[in-house]
Amino acid sequence: MDRIRIRGGNELNGTIAISGAKNATLPLMIASLLTDDTLTLENVPHLADVEQLIRILGNHGVDYAVSGKRLNQSRAGGRTIHFTARTIVDTTAPYELVSKMRASFWVIGPLLARCHKARVSLPGGCAIGTRPVDLFIEGLQALGATIDIDSGYVVAEAKGGLVGNRYRFPKVSVGATHVMLMAASLAKGETVIENAAREPEIADLAACLNAMGARIEGAGTSTITIQGVDALSGARHRVLPDRIETGTYAMAVAMTGGDVTLQNTSVELLESALDTLRQAGAGIEAVPDGIRVTRNGNGIQPVDVMTDPYPGFPTDLQAQFMALMTRANGTARITETIFENRFMHVQELARLGARISLSGQVATVEGVSRLAGAPVMATDLRASVSLVIAGLAAEGETTVNRVYHLDRGFERLEEKLGACGAEIERISG
């Protein structure tokens, strides 16, 4: 099993190209189920989750082709992949596939919209919380679907097709908003989604669906209106930059000091997190085609944060920010409001010398003057990269085990950091 070894203490200086967003790519790929034409996605990142979803979509009959790289085109530019669901050969998403990737449950929306039936395994829990599917089910029921739970499967049917309706989510859900957008695009009549998620990835999916012929207004706000159409066509769409990768590397620079330009991204994607970094002492500057991140020798200031749905501070950056606060000149409090079990990285950070105490959903981080390298174990995707950030500043050698979590969401992380001066390598086997 691969490991990442880091010898800490080096500043980061240089340029890092930001990849296409994983959290946008996955629903865009699933949207290919809505049409028998070809959906072409540009800037698709090289990630384990993307490869797994390709296999899952293949189970439903989706063919794919990857365009070859042009001369001098770097891998950092992402891939162009063509998805064609000419015929849906199977409307069942089995447990053995859904259990490997929670987002694969989202196929229930397009399958129900296009084929009027779907049988999808319940995804179960995961390391950072249970994340129930009630909101998905209630939303689809509002569009006229009949849904039963049978032997661990959600069995959905919409005889005659889905019908538009007004539905208000009782709580904000990014995944359920994705599913409702896709399902309502082929429903009869108008659908109004209230208390919708506002993340940039929602607006990106809506832009792609509109390019396919959907009629969606308001994506990116809390109220989205969809006029259903009879069919969708193919389209070509470029995946937006990964704001979580952007924030992660910005926090790495804030942790180590240095001067790094993050290319192919923008400040507008994560203003809340970048404002928090400014308060912590980092310099954040919008530059052409990117963001310049710097930190001088004045140290890291403690900042209290609370995770919140967009445009608030992202839960997907909570672990990384906690790593940064372990070296703050004072005490910071981090409150997690999205997932009930997203503090498992605390014990691993403590192995490096961090002082963190937990009380319910609040972590109190007392900054220390030094961290010391040690072997640590990744528990999930974001927790794993928080250990990398801590290791970049720790004295001596840090080994991060179980880095397959990293490969799910970070493209060529050790290569990108190494090019900026980090002493970091992947050890296979």
Six token digits for residue 141: 């029921």
Say if residue 49's pLDDT is above 50.
Answer: yes
- Same domain membership, residue 142 and residue 63: yes
Residue 82, pLDDT score: 98
The whole-number average pLDDT for the span 38-67 is: 96
- Same domain membership, residue 395 and residue 257: yes
Q: How far apart are the C-alpha atoms of 33 and 38, rounded to whole Å?
A: 10
- Same domain membership, residue 68 and residue 12: no
Is there a cis peptide before residue 241, judged by omega within 30 degrees of 0? no
Say if residue 188's pLDDT is above 80.
Answer: yes
Residue 68, pLDDT score: 59
What beta strand segments (E) does 228-378 contain?
235-238, 258-263, 283-287, 290-295, 305-306, 331-335, 355-359, 362-366, 375-377
Q: Which of 1-5, 24-28, 228-232, 262-266 has the lowest mean pLDDT?
A: 1-5
Sheet with 283-287, edge to edge strand ranges: 12-17, 258-263, 290-295, 283-287
Six token digits for residue 417: 């950091």
Q: How far apart are the C-alpha atoms of 84 and 91, rounded to whole Å?
A: 16
Say if residue 126's pLDDT is above 50.
Answer: no
Say if residue 129's pLDDT is above 70.
Answer: no
Residue 124, pLDDT score: 58
On whether the CB atoms of residues 295 and 281 are closer than 8 A, the answer is yes
Within 10 angstroms of residue 65's Cβ, the number of other Cβ atoms is 12
Question: Which parts of 189-269 fold into alpha helices (H)?
Answer: 200-211, 243-256
- Same domain membership, residue 216 and residue 169: yes
Say if residue 257's pLDDT is above 60.
Answer: yes
Domain end, chosen from 190, 205, 238, is at 238
Longest Cα–Cα distance of the chain, Å, equals 66
Dihedrals phi, psi of 109, to nearest 5 degrees: -65, -55
CA Rg value for the chain: 22
Domain end, chosen from 216, 238, 260, is at 238
Residue range of the domain that includes 128: 22-238
- Same domain membership, residue 113 and residue 14: no
Q: What is the DSSP letter of 133?
A: S
- The burial of 171, by beta-carbon neighbours within 10 Å (0-12 exposed, 13-18 middle, 19 or more buried), is given as exposed
Q: Categorize the per-residue pLDDT at 298 as very low, low, confident or very high, splitting at 50, 70 and 90.
A: confident
Residue 127, pLDDT score: 43
The whole-number average pLDDT for the span 54-65 is: 97
- Same domain membership, residue 277 and residue 387: yes
The whole-number average pLDDT for the span 49-58 is: 95
pLDDT digits (tens, 9 = 90+) for 156-186: 999 999 999 999 999 999 999 999 999 999 9
Q: Quick one: CA dihedral 76, 79, 80, 85, positive or negative? A: negative
pLDDT digits (tens, 9 = 90+) for 339-379: 777 798 999 999 999 999 999 999 999 999 999 999 999 88
Six token digits for residue 138: 């209630």
Q: What is the DSSP letter of 69?
A: P
Report angle CA 50, 53, 59 to the nearest 5 degrees: 150
Q: Categorize the per-residue pLDDT at 128 as very low, low, confident or very high, splitting at 50, 70 and 90.
A: very low
pLDDT digits (tens, 9 = 90+) for 87-116: 999 999 999 999 888 899 999 999 999 999
Q: Categorize the per-residue pLDDT at 69 as very low, low, confident or very high, splitting at 50, 70 and 90.
A: low
Q: Categorize the per-residue pLDDT at 73 as very low, low, confident or very high, splitting at 50, 70 and 90.
A: very low
- Same domain membership, residue 415 and residue 319: yes
Q: Categorize the per-residue pLDDT at 70 as very low, low, confident or very high, splitting at 50, 70 and 90.
A: very low
Number of domains, the chain: 2
Say if residue 131's pLDDT is above 70.
Answer: no
Q: How far apart are the C-alpha atoms of 108 and 91, rounded to whole Å?
A: 9
**Is-catalytic flag, 208?**
no
Q: Which of 17-21, 271-275, 294-298, 317-321 has the lowest mean pLDDT?
A: 294-298
Question: Which parts of 79-230 fold into alpha helices (H)?
Answer: 95-98, 108-115, 134-142, 174-185, 200-211
Chain-wide mean pLDDT for the chain? 94
- Same domain membership, residue 374 and residue 226: no
CATH assignment at residue 276: 3.65.10.10
- Give residue 69's identity as a one-letter amino acid code: K
Sheet with 375-377, edge to edge strand ranges: 375-377, 397-401, 3-7, 423-427
Residues pairing with 306 in the sheet: 335
On whether the CB atoms of residues 127 and 379 are closer than 8 A, the answer is yes
Within 10 angstroms of residue 359's Cβ, the number of other Cβ atoms is 8
Residue 381, pLDDT score: 79
Q: Categorize the per-residue pLDDT at 229 as very low, low, confident or very high, splitting at 50, 70 and 90.
A: very high
pLDDT digits (tens, 9 = 90+) for 370-414: 999 999 998 887 889 999 999 999 999 999 998 988 999 999 999
- Same domain membership, residue 282 and residue 213: no
- Same domain membership, residue 277 and residue 216: no
Domain end, chosen from 238, 255, 280, is at 238
- Same domain membership, residue 224 and residue 261: no
- Same domain membership, residue 330 and residue 317: yes
